[in-house]
Amino acid sequence: MILQLQRRHVEVLKQETEMVYPVEACAMLFGELSKNEAAVEKVELTQNRLRSSTRFEVDPAKVAVAVTKAEKEGYVFIGLFHSHPAPATPSSVDLKYMRFWGDILWLILSSIDGKLAAYQLIDDKIKEATIRIE
Ligand SMILES: [Zn+2]
Protein backbone atom coordinates (compact mmCIF):
# COMPACT_ATOMS: atom_id res chain seq x y z
CA MET A 1 0.00 0.00 0.00
CA ILE A 2 1.17 3.51 -0.82
CA LEU A 3 0.18 6.40 1.40
CA GLN A 4 0.36 9.67 -0.47
CA LEU A 5 0.76 12.73 1.76
CA GLN A 6 0.99 16.40 0.92
CA ARG A 7 3.86 18.36 2.39
CA ARG A 8 1.46 20.82 4.06
CA HIS A 9 -0.24 17.92 5.84
CA VAL A 10 3.07 16.65 7.15
CA GLU A 11 3.82 20.17 8.45
CA VAL A 12 0.45 20.34 10.25
CA LEU A 13 1.05 16.94 11.87
CA LYS A 14 4.59 17.90 12.96
CA GLN A 15 3.39 21.18 14.44
CA GLU A 16 0.58 19.49 16.34
CA THR A 17 3.00 16.85 17.65
CA GLU A 18 5.36 19.54 18.96
CA MET A 19 2.52 21.56 20.45
CA VAL A 20 0.94 18.79 22.51
CA TYR A 21 4.21 17.02 23.42
CA PRO A 22 4.65 14.90 25.57
CA VAL A 23 1.01 13.92 25.05
CA GLU A 24 0.43 11.84 21.91
CA ALA A 25 -1.06 13.95 19.12
CA CYS A 26 -3.76 12.42 16.96
CA ALA A 27 -5.59 13.16 13.76
CA MET A 28 -7.87 11.56 11.22
CA LEU A 29 -6.83 11.25 7.59
CA PHE A 30 -9.32 11.60 4.74
CA GLY A 31 -8.97 11.48 0.99
CA GLU A 32 -9.16 9.10 -1.91
CA LEU A 33 -8.68 5.40 -1.66
CA SER A 34 -7.96 2.88 -4.39
CA LYS A 35 -6.78 -0.71 -4.15
CA ASN A 36 -3.09 0.03 -3.67
CA GLU A 37 -2.99 3.69 -2.91
CA ALA A 38 -4.43 6.08 -0.36
CA ALA A 39 -4.10 9.79 -1.13
CA VAL A 40 -4.62 12.13 1.81
CA GLU A 41 -6.56 15.27 0.90
CA LYS A 42 -7.63 16.36 4.35
CA VAL A 43 -6.23 16.13 7.88
CA GLU A 44 -8.59 16.61 10.80
CA LEU A 45 -6.78 17.12 14.10
CA THR A 46 -8.51 15.42 17.01
CA GLN A 47 -7.87 15.73 20.69
CA ASN A 48 -6.28 12.88 22.60
CA ARG A 49 -8.84 12.62 25.35
CA LEU A 50 -6.56 10.46 27.49
CA ARG A 51 -3.96 13.27 27.61
CA SER A 52 -1.44 10.43 27.71
CA SER A 53 2.12 10.13 26.42
CA THR A 54 1.75 6.41 25.77
CA ARG A 55 -1.81 5.99 24.58
CA PHE A 56 -4.38 7.89 22.61
CA GLU A 57 -8.10 7.82 22.31
CA VAL A 58 -10.41 10.00 20.27
CA ASP A 59 -13.98 10.81 21.15
CA PRO A 60 -16.18 8.44 19.05
CA ALA A 61 -18.81 11.18 18.67
CA LYS A 62 -16.18 13.51 17.17
CA VAL A 63 -14.99 10.71 14.89
CA ALA A 64 -18.54 10.24 13.62
CA VAL A 65 -18.97 13.99 12.99
CA ALA A 66 -15.61 14.22 11.16
CA VAL A 67 -16.41 11.18 8.98
CA THR A 68 -19.84 12.53 8.03
CA LYS A 69 -18.40 15.96 7.20
CA ALA A 70 -15.58 14.49 5.09
CA GLU A 71 -17.97 12.19 3.22
CA LYS A 72 -20.09 15.21 2.30
CA GLU A 73 -16.93 16.75 0.86
CA GLY A 74 -16.39 13.60 -1.18
CA TYR A 75 -13.60 12.06 0.88
CA VAL A 76 -13.33 8.68 2.52
CA PHE A 77 -11.76 7.83 5.87
CA ILE A 78 -8.25 6.58 5.14
CA GLY A 79 -6.65 6.24 8.52
CA LEU A 80 -5.48 7.53 11.85
CA PHE A 81 -2.42 9.52 12.75
CA HIS A 82 -0.77 9.67 16.15
CA SER A 83 2.61 10.63 17.51
CA HIS A 84 4.94 8.58 19.69
CA PRO A 85 7.49 9.91 22.14
CA ALA A 86 9.17 6.64 21.08
CA PRO A 87 10.08 4.98 17.75
CA ALA A 88 7.45 5.13 14.98
CA THR A 89 6.35 1.51 15.34
CA PRO A 90 2.96 0.29 16.57
CA SER A 91 2.81 -0.52 20.29
CA SER A 92 0.97 -3.55 21.68
CA VAL A 93 -1.92 -1.23 22.54
CA ASP A 94 -1.90 0.07 18.95
CA LEU A 95 -2.11 -3.50 17.68
CA LYS A 96 -5.18 -4.09 19.80
CA TYR A 97 -6.86 -1.02 18.29
CA MET A 98 -5.66 -1.88 14.80
CA ARG A 99 -7.70 -5.06 15.13
CA PHE A 100 -10.68 -2.97 16.19
CA TRP A 101 -10.38 -0.46 13.32
CA GLY A 102 -9.87 -3.03 10.57
CA ASP A 103 -7.76 -2.30 7.49
CA ILE A 104 -7.32 1.48 7.85
CA LEU A 105 -3.83 2.98 7.67
CA TRP A 106 -1.98 3.95 10.82
CA LEU A 107 0.42 6.84 10.40
CA ILE A 108 2.86 7.30 13.26
CA LEU A 109 5.33 10.14 13.80
CA SER A 110 8.15 9.69 16.26
CA SER A 111 8.84 12.84 18.24
CA ILE A 112 12.28 11.42 19.06
CA ASP A 113 13.75 11.23 15.58
CA GLY A 114 11.03 12.77 13.38
CA LYS A 115 10.53 9.50 11.54
CA LEU A 116 7.16 9.04 9.87
CA ALA A 117 5.92 5.52 9.18
CA ALA A 118 2.62 3.99 8.10
CA TYR A 119 1.18 0.57 8.83
CA GLN A 120 -1.81 -1.50 7.95
CA LEU A 121 -3.11 -4.68 9.49
CA ILE A 122 -3.58 -7.29 6.76
CA ASP A 123 -4.64 -10.81 7.73
CA ASP A 124 -3.78 -9.94 11.32
CA LYS A 125 -0.20 -9.06 10.36
CA ILE A 126 1.29 -5.57 10.57
CA LYS A 127 2.50 -4.46 7.14
CA GLU A 128 4.47 -1.27 6.60
CA ALA A 129 3.11 1.00 3.89
CA THR A 130 5.23 3.18 1.60
CA ILE A 131 4.87 6.89 2.29
CA ARG A 132 5.11 9.33 -0.60
CA ILE A 133 5.25 13.04 0.16
CA GLU A 134 4.56 15.48 -2.63
ZN1 LIG B 1 0.86 4.25 19.34
Using the mean position of ligand 1's atoms as its centre, give its distance from the Cα of residue 19 in Å: 17
Q: Is the dihedral of CA 15, 55, 41, 120 positive or negative?
A: positive
Cα 88 to averaged position of ligand 1 atoms, centre (Å): 8
Q: Which of 83, 67, 58, 82 is nearest to 31 (CA)?
A: 67
Give the mean pLDDT of 26-50: 96
pLDDT for the residue 10 = 97
95 CA distance to ligand 1 middle (Å)? 8
Cα(53) to centroid of ligand 1, in Å?
A: 9
**Which residues share a beta bridge with 40?**
31
Categorize the per-residue pLDDT at 11 as very low, low, confident or very high, splitting at 50, 70 and 90: very high
Q: Supply the pTM of this predicted model.
A: 0.95
pLDDT band at 15 (very low <50, low <70, confident <90, very high): very high
Q: Give residue-wise pLDDT tens across range 46-102.
A: 999 999 999 999 999 999 999 999 999 999 999 999 999 999 999 999 999 999 999
Kindly give the pairing relationship between strand 116-122 and strand 125-133: antiparallel
Provide the strand spans (E) within the chain: 2-5, 26-33, 37-46, 76-84, 105-110, 116-122, 125-133
**Percent of the chain whose pLDDT exceeds 70:** 100
Whole-number pLDDT of residue 130: 98
Task: Compute the distance from residue 108 Cα to the ligand 1 centre, in Å.
Answer: 7
